[in-house]
Amino acid sequence: MTEWLQIVAVPLALVAVILRRTERRTVSALKSAAANSEASAIELPTLNRLSRWQIRRLEKSGALVETSVNRCYFNPSGYTAFRGARRRRAMVVVPVIVVTVLVLWYLSR
């Protein structure tokens, strides 16, 4: 069971790290450029598939607002809501994962 858990956990953790890194870099770039309105929107660079997915998630949540083709600005209230929703999901998912792993470990003994 330990091998199975490692095979599943490592790729999932890697994807989570890549998504968080993309989010931090995107938000940091927008904040440092003071892109907080339509007039100050900046162009985001072309990114890999996971990065584009993360940016779409930020746009859907309202944290990023797209003004024209590939130009966005940062919406702090949308980002706060996005982070709150992520935190609430984690508060549900993490205990479920822990209980599942403990049950599987107990049953495999």
**For residues 27 and 32, what is the distance between their CA atoms, to the nearest angstrom?**
9
Query: 73: helix, coil or strand?
Result: strand
Distances (CA, A) of 84 to 78, 101, 104, 105: 10, 26, 30, 32
Residue 92: what pLDDT?
95
Using the 8-state DSSP alphabet, how is residue 63 labeled?
Answer: S
Give the distance, in angstroms, between the CA of residue 81 and the centroid of all CA atoms in the same chain: 13
User: Which structural domain, as residue segments, surrounds residue 101?
Assistant: 2-108
Using the 8-state DSSP alphabet, how is residue 37 labeled?
Answer: S
Structure tokens at 36: 């907080």
The band of 45, judged by pLDDT with boundaries at 50, 70 and 90, is confident
Q: What is the pTM of this model?
A: 0.78
Query: Model confidence over 47-96: pLDDT tens digits?
Result: 788 888 888 899 999 999 998 777 899 999 999 999 999 999 999 998 99
| Number of compact structural domains in the chain | 1
**For residues 13 and 31, what is the distance between their CA atoms, to the nearest angstrom?**
27
Residue 19 CB partners (closer than 8 Å, separation 6+): 50, 53, 54
Residue 87: what pLDDT?
94
**Mean pLDDT value across the chain:** 86
